[in-house]
Structure 1
């Protein structure tokens, strides 16, 4: 239960960071949704990885696996932004859609790949 609670709180913080950066880049800087979503994901993912490694899973992991996670989820975040730009969707739809994908795919990757229990 500790793991689920910690992941939930960190996931909420991750989403808040992502949304804030997305909307700042979108409105104040004027970037498109694809670039804004990708940049926001990268910052929020770095936060989540660091905090999860320290407090939730309390162990080290492979840098290669982390970079693989960033590459795959970064491509998905960019793709969601591209689709939102093409369909001229509001930014709120973009961040909600990606946040749901990130929650499901990110948790699965963190739990079952990046921080899986390695028998010694």
Structure 2
């Protein structure tokens, strides 16, 4: 079980910085620019995820950051971001609940997806 979560503390620290970037952009886009929560969440995610992708490649997973792995990460996690934002629009969630829900989901699901799919170690 310990091996499953190896690197999670580093991922979490980078995730805190990612969350600050994401939340600030989300509220700027949804409140000041009056965009939907789905679009605001997706746009904020794309900026914050670019930061955390490269930081996690270097510091958490000690992996090479390739264009393919970057696009895979953005595609999968971006779909989660857009999905959470869409549900929030439909159910009329407050913005704070939207970003909190997405942040929690992306912390756990993003770590597991990054570790076992995006930055998995290839056996030779």
Q: Please confirm whether the aligned pair reaches a TM-score higher than 0.5, indicating the same fold.
A: yes
Are 1:81 and 2:85 an aligned pair?
yes
Unpaired runs of at least 5, structure 1: none
Q: Shift of residue 74 of structure 1?
A: 1.0
Give TM-score, length-normalised by structure 1: 0.89
> What are the superposed Cα offsets for residues 45-81 of structure 1, whole Å, 9 maximum, x if unpaired?
1011111112222221442232122112112211111
| More divergent stretch after superposition (56-65 vs 12-21) | 56-65
Deviation per residue, 1:82-114 (Å, 9 max, x gap): 111111110011001111111111000111111
- Alpha-carbon RMSD across the aligned residues, in angstroms, is 1.7
| Equivalent pairs, count | 120
Whole-Å separation in 1 of the counterparts to 2:65 and 2:29: 31
Instruction: Give the structure with the larger helix fraction.
Output: 1
Poorly superposed stretches of 4+, deviation over 3 Å:
none
> Pick from 84, 88, 110: which aligns with 2:114?
110
Aligned-partner Cα distance in 2 for 1:21–1:61: 24
Which blocks of at least 5 consecutive residues in structure 2 are unaligned? none
